[in-house]
Chain A
Amino acid sequence: MKQVSDQEFARNLRVRALRMVHKAKASHIGSCLSIGEIVAVLFNGFLRLDSKQPNWPERDRFILSKGHAAAIYYAALSERGFFPASWIERYCENAAKLAGHVTMGVPGVEFSAGALGHGLPVSLGMAKAAKHDGASHRVVVLMSDGECDEGSVWEGALLAAQYELDNLTVIVDYNKIQSFGRVSDVADLHPFAQKWEAFRWGVQEVDGNDCQAVKAALSEAPFTPGKPSVIIAHTIKGKGVSFMEDNILWHYKSPNDVELANALAELEVN
């Protein structure tokens, strides 16, 4: 596999996700673009995975709990050889292998997500089992900020600390826009870090669109022995395409031909 920088990998994933949602006329491109760097770092060597053995027992577990950002996740799995690139071409088509939300049965996918607030409880079970079995793999969950409205997130947060699951890392894509408006206007999460700290988690806040910062935080986890870790990743929804950035419209809209061309031009695709 050709080694690329995390930044270059993120750019590549953004391009692929844009092409996928354009072809499929699918939604959620803004939610894909915000996590470009996070997904790139995770799948550019950070996670211990083997595409030839997707069910390798010692693999790290990754759950994309914000399952609506499936396109960029699928792009990463495809780039890492979990399944043929031809599957990407048929994203969301009739009888396609890849659905609009992350769905089981795809090599590399641990868990189906689309209904929010499911990833943390399931990952908690995985982390608890790993601790019990003396296994060394990590469990990493990527959630959205709007997802943190769900009560099940806080049920899981409470119990993960109780079980002292320091093999569990949550990343929150804090792009500050949820489905119907700004997070601060809908159900403000502020003070967000303090909420997690109060739940007895180790917390780091990073620029989630900075690969080095994301990688550093992931590498430092667990931040406190005996505590689960949360990385609050401050990101920009639609990051990388100027007219999509920080704009709720791109939670829903699919780019037309002109918009795709403009977006790809910004990402310097020849």
Chain B
Amino acid sequence: MRAAFVETLCTLAAQDTRVWLVTGDLGFSALEPFIEQFPGRFLNAGVAEQNMMGMAAGLAMSGKIVFVYSIANFPTMRCLEQIRNDVALHNANVKIIAAGVVFTYGTQGYTHHAIEDMAVVGAFANMTVVSPGDPIETRSLIESAFKTDGPVYVRMGRAGEPVVHKGPIDLPFGKSILLRGGTDITLIATGTMLSDTVAAADQLFDEHNISARLISMPTLKPLDRDAIFNAAQETGAIVTVEEHMISCGLGVCVADALMEGGIYTVLVKHGATPDMLGKVGTQQYMRSQMGTIADTALRAITAKQNKV
């Protein structure tokens, strides 16, 4: 995903001299293509995220389209007030790129586990929140971020996420992608969990003869409500899949939309929980601590069958 980001950004920067890249002293052996091609539009703010984000806002207020890059929680939590006041309030044209979110840095410990970021950043007005599911979604979403005037938060992995989509896609903000049809249940995945969710859908069909609809929902804000409503009405059960705390992520946004729409359905959230705090391990190990997606889906199917 990270390579797809840098490659896309270089293409955009070649087209438009307003494109700048700012980093918080991270991105070694990743950002170099941009730095070599556009040295005058690259800034390393050092290990100082508050100043980095404020400076990005100042550049944006001077007509620049500013992509701010860092890893995990550093471009969000450490400079949250700058995002809120300098970027979001002023609707500044700043794109925050957090690489290696979720459990990419699983072995590095809790400081590097970005699992509350979507809720925190998504709380701010004017802020779009996206979470690409593979390198192809990354390309499209970075292009959409470039075309959209205003702040965007992009959370992405950097663990060599597999390509899921078969070819280039055009993915405007607020739109989801139907990856496969299904009638028994809908799996809605966001971000880095996409490929695992594809595997879970296969497993549900092969082992349990369950027909699972599969939706990739990279935009958390704004949400593709129509796709959610259709899934609820046509399959009667939804599982949301995210590498984020389930108390405040995709699942909660989906539930909120359904309640506002007056639609009752079974909804089970698959993701990180507070008992994972302090745990350490590879991304796959950390994901295993969330349980399996297939098991979560089977719980949802049971609940659907027991529904009166």
Contacts and interface: CB of A to CB of B under 8 A. Distances in A.
Contact of A152 (B51, B60, B64): B51
A261 interface: no
A132 B17 CA distance: 11
A104 B46 contact: no
A264 interface: no
Interface string A110-150: 11101101101111111111101100000000000000000
Interface string B248-276: 00000000000000000000000000000
A133 B57 CA distance: 17
B interface SS class: helix
A129 B54 contact: no
Given A156-B51, A158-B46, A158-B48, A118 B86 contact: yes
Interface residues of B, number: 27
Contacts of B159: none
Contact of A117 (B41, B50, B52): B50
A151 B49 CA distance: 11
A111 B57 CA distance: 10
Contacts of B43: 128
Interface in B32-69: 40-41, 43, 45-46, 48, 50-64
A interface SS class: helix
A128 B85 contact: no
Contact of B58 (A112, A114, A128, A151): A128
A128 B43 CA distance: 10
A157 to B, nearest CB: 9
B90 interface: yes
Contacts of B60: 125
Interface in B54-105: 54-64, 81-82, 85-86, 89-90
A253 to B, nearest CB: 27
Contacts of A127: 58
A124 B85 contact: no
Given A112-B89, A159-B46, A121 B51 contact: yes
Nearest to A153: B51
Given A111-B90, A117-B50, A159-B51, A122 B45 contact: no
Given A104-B89, A125-B61, A125-B62, 13 more contacts: A115-B81, A118-B82, A120-B54, A121-B51, A122-B57, A122-B58, A122-B61, A124-B54, A124-B58, A126-B59, A152-B51, A158-B48, A159-B46
30 contacts: A104-B89, A104-B90, A110-B61, A111-B86, A112-B85, A115-B85, A118-B81, A118-B82, A118-B85, A120-B51, A120-B54, A121-B53, A121-B55, A122-B54, A122-B55, A122-B61, A123-B58, A124-B54, A125-B54, A125-B55, A125-B58, A126-B59, A128-B58, A155-B46, A155-B48, A156-B51, A156-B54, A158-B46, A158-B48, A159-B46
